[in-house]
Chains A and B, each alone.
Chain A
Amino acid sequence: MATVVDSSNPKSDFPIQYRELNYLNCSKGWKSWFFTLDHKRIGIMYLIGVTCAFFLGGLFAVLLRTELLSPARILLSADGYNQMFTLHGAIMTFLVIIPGVPAAIGNIILPVMLGAKDVAFPRMNLGSFYLWMFGAAFFLAALALGGLDTGWTFYTPYSITTSTAVITALLGVFILGFSSIFTGLNFIVTIHTMRPPGMTWFKMPLFLWALYATALIQILATPVLGITGLLLVVERAFHIGIFDPALGGDPVLFQHFFWFYSHPAVYVMILPAMGVVSEVIAVHSRKHIFGYRFIAYSSIAIAIFGFLVWGHHMFVSGQSKVVAVVFSAITFSVSIPSAIKVFNWLTTMYKGSIRFTTAMCYALAFLFIFSIGGLTGLFLATLATDIHLHDTYFVVAHFHYVMMGSSLVGLFAAVHHWWPKITGKMFSEFWGRIACLGVFLGFNLTFFPQFLLGTRGMPRRYYTYLPEFQNLHILSTCGAYLLGLSSALMAATLIYSVYRGKKAPANPWGGASLEWQCSSPPPANNFDHPPLAGDPYIMESVVYNEEIGGYVPVECQGAKKGSVTASGDKEA
């Protein structure tokens, strides 16, 4: 086995591995980061920003849960509580989950997966990051200027009359919306025009399909949120009478506009996580993904259906019965593509050689949690039960199972799966798995009791509650603490690995898609020449090499010594 390869010769057997220079060390100084056009560095900055926002939002959640330990006041006043849950929701939605997988992970991985040198519009990519920063600054300003107590949904007419910093927060949402639009636009164009030779649409990794579907939603739905937010700003500032019933406006129109964006946005949150799970399960089961086309098409189907279901948020807001029935029916039909995905993931694992790496553990947690989250959605899509469950903790638990339990766990899976590629370092699998177990248990302990609370009539967004709910609330709060600690442990494990971790091989998990063909971390240009792409799920095309500690292409595996079969496992 050759251990030294002339890295300047791209025609060698080991294409671009053993590069000394990579995107992290090729230039130095703060300017090389803040003005970088490299998609990987921009992705890293997103990742850091999203992580900070995640811990800020998480801190708010922990404060909220602490307050709910007892019906009486513990930490927060009633107004403070309203502001806390509003900012928790707004930060987690707009600053964490929506940019989480697409903007942070997608930015780093998408061009490498495509064998491209960069995204189509690198400047716009950087601009989109600064818009994100700017939007986040507006959110912090809203926090400083008297908070926000409308809920993250900004429902009128309350959002017109409240004295809190609605305009500041809305401008933040507007700016973040444009950040999201530009990311989506960039991804669509990149996928369309910059695929390497040999990569047809149906040879794209499923993560790219998921990002493509996500980007479609981002550019089609987010402008509507932008104009809605802007109209609400104008309504508050000038009283134009669009949403304000006092001037003849229609407050329910705001709900329609808002959910026309925000329901598809739910799929902006979940679709990329689904794409991550498709990758992680196939790679860590060492098996070709099952039902490739079904998974690909179901991503697009979810994106399309996502636009047709917004009315299910207004079953009790006074919409006509016919409309409600139609929305209910379409909402049920969204479960079909989602179920297709779950069944295909399960079938992919069947007879695979599953390794319980940290990323795989998160993917399995995703499967479990997403199934619960998805199925409880059917309860809420049913008109009759929704009347009972509307605005209760059942809804809170449902969307946390989907948004937090699925989207964020998907993000965690992505971070662990691609961490060696991003940083060039291996993290501690032991502590990673412990953290994963903690996240899984803590999450379910937090939110499963909320299903019970909801069915028993605990309304959402309430500061206090009847004494008979206290036991379940205490359980839920304990879960939140465990979840918070486990997330911190996860972050600590990952950050520790950056300084003390073992150097990562180019392909530690045995993935067959293009990003595993360049070194870890990738060089600044990713690939000097567009690589030839084949089927991204033929796991037999790479075999384990003990000297390197990772997988190498079959054709590079000269001597048989030290190699195992493609499905074998000597690593864990």
Chain B
Amino acid sequence: MNTAATTTTDDHADSHDHEHHDPRLAHHFDSHQQQFDTGKLGIWLFLVTEVLFFSGLFGFYAVYRSLHPEVFLYASQFLDTVLGAANTVVLLFSSLTMAWGVRCAQLGQTRGLMVCLVVTLACAAIFLGVKSFEYTEKAHHGLLWAGMYHSPEHHDAAAADGAAGAGDHAHDEAAAAGDHGDDELFEKTKHTLSYMTTVLWVVIVISGIALGLLFKNPNKKTLATVAGCVLVSAAGMVIGAYSSIGYHHFGHAEKPTDEEILMAETVPAEYAAQKEKVPEPKLAGTFFSVYFCMTGLHAIHIIGGMIAISWLIVRTAHGAFTTYYFGAVDFVGLYWHLVDLIWIYLFPLLYLIN
């Protein structure tokens, strides 16, 4: 937000200052250096407020983990470490391309900047695609925040004795065999996700057509670029969602070895099959409250970052950035690194317990 304030050009109707005519220098600054320094300090302060914004959640995490360590030990096993790790890699890579983009902007390499920004945007979208698979899967397992939490133990028991009559037909059908309960839930997850991907495919087609039609038209540059950004975002999310589904298929195709079962972190059924069963602590749902609050807020920041990057892409398409005017790229880059950094903390704190 503050980057927008610093870098957009001055359009003061009432400006009396005619000393400089460079549209890239706002009227109240003396030099580009001053304008850049101002924006830099502004974005750093903004990042401080962002850190403090998350600090409430980290504080909450610390309080509850120290009060109820068993909840975190137990519930974190339902999170899929592989998907979390994959997302970490995706975000780290996007930070690399972002940093590379800043370098391109400083050197005035517009094409390189464009490529880097588009890759960053795509990575962000892949991250969201994977996240939406994870969320959907959690929802179908009943692993939601405290107020909506359904114990997986209870779910397995219901699945085991068939006519447990929870009023849910899917559950009854799944009762045939304990193992299949999980497959059933996976099918439901896929089904739910298919709604999202259908919408995304429609978006991809429409934005693709728009991009194709507008690409050659120099007057519609902004619109074409926006369509391109939407296309990249939707495609990234579809890739993310399909690869998570694919990974999950792959995980099911092979019979897990005993050792894998012991290490099992992917799905609750595998965990439930373990010999030494850790009893489910009270308040297990609190972990998922933390999980959804923290990752949810982080996801909102990812979306904010995607909007900011799209804005950069549009401005790059217009050739707004030069070797002496690249502040906006730098500032959005810093923001993006912070969002990445927060995930670097979230991943071990949530996924890698024990």
Q: Chain A interface (Cβ within 8 Å of chain B)?
A: 21, 23, 26-27, 32, 37-38, 116-118, 120-125, 127, 181-182, 185-186, 188-189, 192-194, 219-224, 226-228, 231, 234, 238-242, 247-250, 253, 257, 523-525, 528, 530
Residues of A within 8 A of B63 (CB): 250, 253
Task: With A185-B45, A525-B17 as known contacts, state yes or no: A121 contacts B283, CB within 8 Å.
Answer: no
Contacting pair A223 B53 (CB below 8 A): yes
Residues of B within 8 A of A239 (CB): 145-148
Contacting pair A248 B282 (CB below 8 A): yes
Contacting pair B16 A185 (CB below 8 A): no
Residue of A nearest to B4 (CB): A123
Most chain B CB atoms below 10 A, which of A193, A250, A523: A193
User: B233 within 8 Å of A by Cβ?
Assistant: no
Known: A121-B5, A186-B42, A193-B34. 6 other contacts (CB 8 A): A120-B6, A123-B4, A185-B42, A194-B34, A227-B55, A524-B14
Contacting pair A26 B14 (CB below 8 A): yes
User: B286 within 8 Å of A by Cβ?
Assistant: yes
Contacting pair A38 B146 (CB below 8 A): no
Interface size class of B (residues with CB under 8 A): 35 or more
User: B50 within 8 Å of A by Cβ?
Assistant: yes
> What 0/1 readout, one digit per residue, does chain B (280-296) give for beta carbons within 8 Å of chain A?
00110110010011000
User: B257 within 8 Å of A by Cβ?
Assistant: no
Q: Dominant SS at the A interface?
A: helix
A525 to B14, CA, bound (A): 9
Distance in Å from the Cβ of A10 to the closest Cβ of chain B?
A: 12
Contacting pair A247 B60 (CB below 8 A): no
A257 to B62, CA, bound (A): 13
Q: Dominant SS at the B interface?
A: helix
Distance in Å from the Cβ of A439 to the closest Cβ of chain B?
A: 36
User: B253 within 8 Å of A by Cβ?
Assistant: no
Contacting pair B57 A227 (CB below 8 A): yes
User: B194 within 8 Å of A by Cβ?
Assistant: no
Contacting pair B293 A38 (CB below 8 A): no
Contacting pair A188 B45 (CB below 8 A): yes
Residues of B within 8 A of A238 (CB): 145, 147-148
Question: Pick the contact of B41 from A193, A220, A525 — CB < 8 Å?
Answer: A193
A244 to B60, CA, bound (A): 13
Contacting pair A525 B45 (CB below 8 A): no
Residues of A within 8 A of B148 (CB): 238-239
Residues of B within 8 A of A220 (CB): 48-49, 52
A27 to B60, CA, bound (A): 51
Q: Tell me the residues in window 1-32 of chain B with beta carbons closer than 8 Å to chain A beta carbons.
A: 1-2, 4-6, 8, 12-17, 26-28, 30
A123 to B4, CA, bound (A): 8
Distance in Å from the Cβ of B34 to the closest Cβ of chain A?
A: 6
Distance in Å from the Cβ of A21 to the closest Cβ of chain B?
A: 8
A32 to B285, CA, bound (A): 53
A38 to B63, CA, bound (A): 45
Contacting pair B56 A242 (CB below 8 A): no
Most chain B CB atoms below 10 A, which of A116, A117, A530: A117
Distance in Å from the Cβ of B145 to the closest Cβ of chain A?
A: 4
Contacting pair A123 B57 (CB below 8 A): no
Distance in Å from the Cβ of A535 to the closest Cβ of chain B?
A: 24
18 residue pairs bridging A and B, Cβ less than 8 Å apart:
A26-B14, A117-B17, A122-B5, A124-B4, A181-B49, A185-B46, A193-B38, A219-B48, A223-B52, A223-B56, A224-B52, A227-B54, A227-B57, A239-B145, A241-B146, A249-B286, A250-B67, A253-B60
Residues of A within 8 A of B53 (CB): 223-224, 226-227
Contacting pair A27 B13 (CB below 8 A): yes
Residue of A nearest to B46 (CB): A185
A361 to B54, CA, bound (A): 45
Task: With A32-B14, A121-B2, A219-B48 as known contacts, state yes or no: A247 contacts B285, CB within 8 Å.
Answer: yes
Distance in Å from the Cβ of A45 to the closest Cβ of chain B?
A: 16
Distance in Å from the Cβ of B95 to the closest Cβ of chain A?
A: 23
Residues of A within 8 A of B67 (CB): 250
Contacting pair A257 B16 (CB below 8 A): no
A194 to B292, CA, bound (A): 42
Distance in Å from the Cβ of B340 to the closest Cβ of chain A?
A: 19
Residue of A nearest to B149 (CB): A241
Most chain A CB atoms below 10 A, which of B4, B14, B293: B14
